[in-house]
Amino acid sequence: MTPQTPPPLALFDLDHTLLDGDGDDLWCRFMIRHGVIGPAMAEANERMGRDYRAGRVGAQAFSDFYAGLLAGRSPADWAPWQDRFLAEEVLPRLPDAARALVESHRAQGHALLLTTASNRVIAARSAAELGFAHWIATDLELVDGRYSGRVQGTPNMRDGKLHRLLAWLQAHGRSPDELDRAWFYSDSINDLPLLSRVGRPVAVNPDAQLQAHAQAHGWPVIDVLGRATAA
């Protein structure tokens, strides 16, 4: 009997792609507003965001910065804050068009996967809200049941996003060749390694660098966040 071909993959970035905002930035501001971390972190957060968008910060440094905000507390400690973050920050920033894009692939029977540079604490509720059974995020180290403030393993960012996906495919008994017919939706030049590997890359409300690259390579450019994209 000929093995059945698995359904094609539809891969989605989260921040500025399905979520109208950056989860790491929103989480930091949310924590400051509620007094969980000090206001002195606001300037460092702004600087990190600028450096990330410009591609000036390394994946490890970026991930370590946001991992550090969680240090000293357990997953159970953070759970109520995750619920509040979903209600106050995430739900108002998940546009109907973004949800419809995910649902269009689900309706076609595609295998859906969310892949985000944000860490698991920040991204967990968003993944669940959008109905992703499978998702990859930056993992965090636990020591004696509490977050150490350090990343565990490879951050799910830039080249790491491709490497982590290849590891996920292997763990699920799927072939890397499946990427040749996979979609990947992203807004960021930081995701170029994975965008360049899939057969169906789509730029979603792209940053200026990705916009130029997408146009040069004939990639589709779409808007699901209600913003105009350059012609």
Beta carbons of 161 and 117 less than 8 angstroms apart:
yes
Selected catalytic residue, list 15, 24, 187, 191: 15
Judge whether 15 counts as a catalytic residue. Answer: yes
Q: How distant, in Å, are the alpha carbons of 16, 48, 67, 78, 147 from that of 144? A: 34, 29, 16, 15, 8
Which DSSP string do the residues of 168-203 spell out, in sequence order? HHHHTT--GGGGGG-EEEE--GGGHHHHHHSSEEEE
Say how far apart CA 67 and CA 103 lie, in whole Å: 31
Chain-centre distance of CA 95, in angstroms? 16
Say how far apart CA 179 and CA 181 lie, in whole Å: 5
Judge whether 144 counts as a catalytic residue. Answer: no
Say how far apart CA 109 and CA 36 lie, in whole Å: 42
Q: How distant, in Å, are the alpha carbons of 27, 32, 49, 108, 176 from that of 135? A: 19, 27, 23, 19, 17
* Radius of gyration of the chain measured on its C-alpha atoms: 17
Say how far apart CA 195 and CA 188 lie, in whole Å: 10
Farthest-apart Cα atoms in the chain, separation? 64
Q: Which residues are catalytic?
A: 13, 15
